[in-house]
């Protein structure tokens, strides 16, 4: 538990709306301000979805470029991790296009699943294609794991050389259709990871909705890293809308410090994740 904690902040997502979370950052300027506040509160990684001005999700590279430029102008030290998941239903071609911007990191989803009332489609050939493009552009993938079968898939792809070490896994728990944030689920996944991963790896967890804080605290004491933010959860506590992404980051930073675990700076996070 003594290794520094990497906090990722998922600022916006593709599903959260202003109607439900009035403080949601949508424009590049708003995202840049939210990113700066989050980094000052303890985040090292900014997980980035982008929106058009009307709030609709988009995978346009030009929009990603606008947001990335705006964020780097305010917090050049931040690690920017773009989403290749996009909104549910987005074509794989559009999901892949922003990789040409060569961000330091990008999300890579490891399987198809029910996602609430929709289907999040990730064909095996598309997973391989995205992994290959990430390697081509020098982008480090964050392997998004919603259930145990996706973790087993990651092991197979690593054995085939499609995924290259060191590997960084993100357990996303609490999406209806995937594994919940029950404590036993995270223990199970981490156990499988330690048994099945043959090389160097790191792991983190993102709890969705009411699971965000419980799984974050569990990961904190288990030695994992943590993602918080409006993409996954809009509340600070039950019935109380969070004021900002930074408020959610600050709480994890405070708890981590109380437990004696240092919060990683972006520079330290780069060393832990072995980003070039």
Q: What would the pLDDT profile of 46-105 be if each residue is shown by its tens digit?
A: 999 999 999 999 999 999 999 999 999 999 999 999 999 988 888 999 999 999 999 999
Q: Any idea which residue has 């030009």 for tokens?
A: 62
Q: Domain residues of the chain, as ranges? A: 7-273
Q: pLDDT at residue 237 above 80?
A: yes
User: SS3 breakdown of the chain: % helix, strand, coil, rounded to 5?
Assistant: 40, 20, 35
Which pLDDT belongs to residue 118?
Answer: 92
Which pLDDT belongs to residue 1?
Answer: 53
Q: pLDDT at residue 169 above 80?
A: yes
Helix (H, G, I), strand (E, B) or coil at 168: strand
- The fold for domain 7-273 equals TIM Barrel (3.20.20)
Q: pLDDT at residue 276 above 80?
A: no
Which pLDDT belongs to residue 198?
Answer: 87
pLDDT (average), residues 7-18: 96
Question: How many angstroms separate the CA atoms of 47 and 108, rounded?
Answer: 12
pLDDT (average), residues 217-227: 97
Share of the chain above pLDDT 90, in %: 96
Q: pLDDT at residue 257 above 60?
A: yes
Which pLDDT belongs to residue 135?
Answer: 96
Q: Tell me if 168 sits within 8 A of 203, measured CB to CB.
A: yes
Which pLDDT belongs to residue 86?
Answer: 86
Poorest-confidence range of 78-92, 201-215, 247-261?
Answer: 78-92
């Amino acid at each position: 538990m003594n290794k520094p904690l990497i906090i990722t902040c998922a600022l916006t997502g593709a599903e959260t709306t202003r109607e439900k979370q009035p403080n949601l950052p949508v424009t590049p300027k708003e995202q840049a301000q939210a990113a700066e506040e989050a980094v000052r509160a303890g985040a090292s990684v900014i997980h980035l979805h982008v929106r058009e001005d009307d709030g609709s999700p988009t995978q346009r590279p030009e929009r990603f470029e606008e947001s990335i430029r705006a964020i780097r102008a305010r917090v050049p030290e931040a690690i920017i991790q773009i989403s290749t998941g996009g909104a549910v239903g987005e074509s794989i071609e559009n999901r892949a296009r922003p990789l040409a911007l060569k961000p330091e990191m990008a999300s890579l989803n490891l399987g198809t699943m029910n996602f609430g009332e929709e289907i999040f489609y990730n064909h095996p050939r598309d997973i391989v294609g995205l992994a290959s493009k990430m390697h081509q552009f020098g982008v480090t993938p964050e392997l998004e794991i919603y259930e145990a079968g996706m973790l087993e898939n990651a092991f197979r792809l690593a054995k085939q050389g499609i995924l290259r070490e060191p590997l960084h896994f993100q357990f996303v728990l609490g999406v209806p259709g995937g594994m919940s944030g029950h404590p036993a689920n995270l223990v199970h996944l981490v156990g499988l990871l330690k048994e099945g991963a043959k090389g160097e790896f790191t792991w983190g967890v993102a709890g969705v909705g009411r699971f965000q804080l419980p799984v974050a605290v569990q990961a904190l004491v288990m030695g994992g890293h943590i993602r918080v933010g409006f993409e996954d959860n809009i509340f600070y506590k039950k019935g109380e809308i969070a004021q900002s992404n930074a408020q959610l980051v600050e709480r994890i930073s405070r708890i981590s410090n109380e437990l004696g675990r240092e919060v990683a700076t972006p520079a330290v996070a780069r060393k832990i994740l072995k980003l070039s």
